[in-house]
A and B are shown apart, each in its own frame.
Chain A
Amino acid sequence: MVMQEPAVQDENGFDTYVNGGVPSTTGPKIEVVASNESDPGAATFCIRDEDHTLGNALRYIIMKNPAVEFCGYSIPHPSEYMVNLRIQTDGSISAVDALHRGLDDLINLTSHISSTFQDKVQAFK
């Protein structure tokens, strides 16, 4: 697929994402933009080169985790191609763990849809 692995790096060694020809932001794919050492359960992540396609689905799946008390996403500015994702847990797991779990769950979910869909298409013929 296109543009998953960034091809260009800037002078600081940061990846530059050229999203389907649209000049995009420069920086790591994902970073922590806000967190506090007293509470690893709360953090805001910035994911570059993503939009509502992943933001909303990721928000939903992370929110499904009973250890997560809050999860929300926003696109701070429409011309900057990035998503901010806020996670707050009840303290039993860290925000990074919740994000990890969410990513795994969403990957499993999509592969389940893909395989059931393929089975159903086969059966329909």
Chain B
Amino acid sequence: MNYSNFTQNANKPFVSITGQDQESISFILSNTDLSVANAIRRAMIAEVTTMAIDLVEFENNTSVLTDEFIAHRLGLIPLFSSDVDTMIPFTSRECSCQQYCPSCSVELHLNVKCDQESRSVTSNDLISVHQQIKPITSESDSGILIAKLVKGQEISLRCIAKKGIAKEHAKWSPCAAVAFEYDPHNRLRHTTYWVEDDVKSEWPVSKNGELEEEPAEDEPFDYLAKPNKFYYNVETTGALKPQEAIIAGLKVLQKKLAFIKKNVEGIAEEVGTGGVEERMF
């Protein structure tokens, strides 16, 4: 295969969507390498920017839960983060402000006093100053439980939500779960099953197996075969729509590559000079 052929064919993977709903999307990526498929998976899990509560200032907490316990729970509440880069241009490290400001953070308030016998404090009680960036809501549930109060107890606090990526803390991950599978019949023998009696009954083939031909009983092992078809199911926390998380993941990869490309410009003359290590000694 010559190089122009490669750029025409191998550089053109196929995508097909196999299912979609509010929280998740299933798709198949084919005609590409495992390394590329894995890069996309890793990027959308760990490097997509979202908003999450990062600082909590307690004014009053007479609940049975400690301040840090509640602060941790608040951090894990997904906030709507579509188009976060246009609304909040900077992370707090990039921002020129002293601590935080409207261009790198969003403020949220929670002021709840229990006057009834008991009540639940949920993400619906969190009031954001921002129009779009606020705790996720859905018709199907009544908010995410933060704490429970009995008569007379009170929680009153102020939160600062910041932009971040899941490499720093998993609360910034837009993905709740990313299912990733290839070679459902284990034709390539990339995995070894622990078996007592019978592989087929003890390790049922996943649904994706229906889309690939079952290997014949006496089929010889093709040691040159490479995975080519990758099955994804991306489920998000609600911070982003599933398709947004995937597109954002790809964008992260492009930005990383473009930044390296920009920096490669200056190193052409370095080659042949021995490199850093040789020059040092």
Contact = CB atoms under 8 A, between A and B. Distances in A.
Contact of B270 (A35, A66, A114, A117): A35
B253 A100 contact: no
B122 to A, nearest CB: 29
Contacts of B167: 19-22
B48 to A, nearest CB: 8
Most buried by A among B1, B14, B20, B167: B167
B145 interface: no
B167 to A, nearest CB: 4
B274 A35 contact: yes
A113 B260 CA distance: 20
Contacts, number: 195
A54 B187 CA distance: 27
B246 to A, nearest CB: 6
Contact of B35 (A21, A60, A105, A112): A60
Nearest to A66: B3
Most chain A Cβ neighbours within 10 Å, of B15, B251, B257: B257
Given A22-B168, A35-B270, A54 B3 contact: no
Given A57-B36, A105-B11, A31 B267 contact: yes
Of B165, B270, B271, which is in contact with the most chain A CB atoms at under 10 Å from its CB? B271
A55 to B, nearest CB: 9
Given A2-B165, A108-B11, A124-B20, A114 B276 contact: no
B29 A52 contact: no
B257 A33 contact: no
Given A40-B272, A64-B6, A21 B261 contact: no
A20 B260 contact: no
Interface string A1-24: 111110100000000001111100
Contacts of B20: 121, 124-125
A35 B46 CA distance: 33
A18 B164 CA distance: 12
Interface string A54-69: 1011011100111100
Interface residues of B, number: 68
A35 B10 contact: no
B117 interface: no
Q: Most B CB atoms within 10 A — which of A45, A105, A106? A: A106
Contacts of A56: 35, 38-39
A117 B12 CA distance: 12
Contacts of B93: 3, 7, 18
B180 interface: no
A50 B260 CA distance: 10
B94 interface: yes
Given A20-B167, A67-B3, A107-B254, A2 B261 contact: no
B97 interface: no
A40 B272 CA distance: 6
Interface in B65-116: 85, 91, 93-94
A96 interface: yes
B263 interface: yes
Interface of A: 1-5, 7, 18-22, 28-37, 40, 43-47, 50, 52-54, 56-57, 59-61, 64-67, 94-96, 99-100, 103-114, 116-118, 120-121, 123-125
Given A57-B33, A66-B3, 8 more contacts: A5-B94, A22-B167, A36-B274, A53-B38, A56-B35, A111-B250, A117-B246, A120-B15
Closest A-B pairs by Cβ, 4 of them? A20-B168, A21-B168, A20-B167, A37-B272
7 contacts: A3-B91, A35-B274, A37-B273, A50-B260, A100-B261, A117-B243, A118-B243
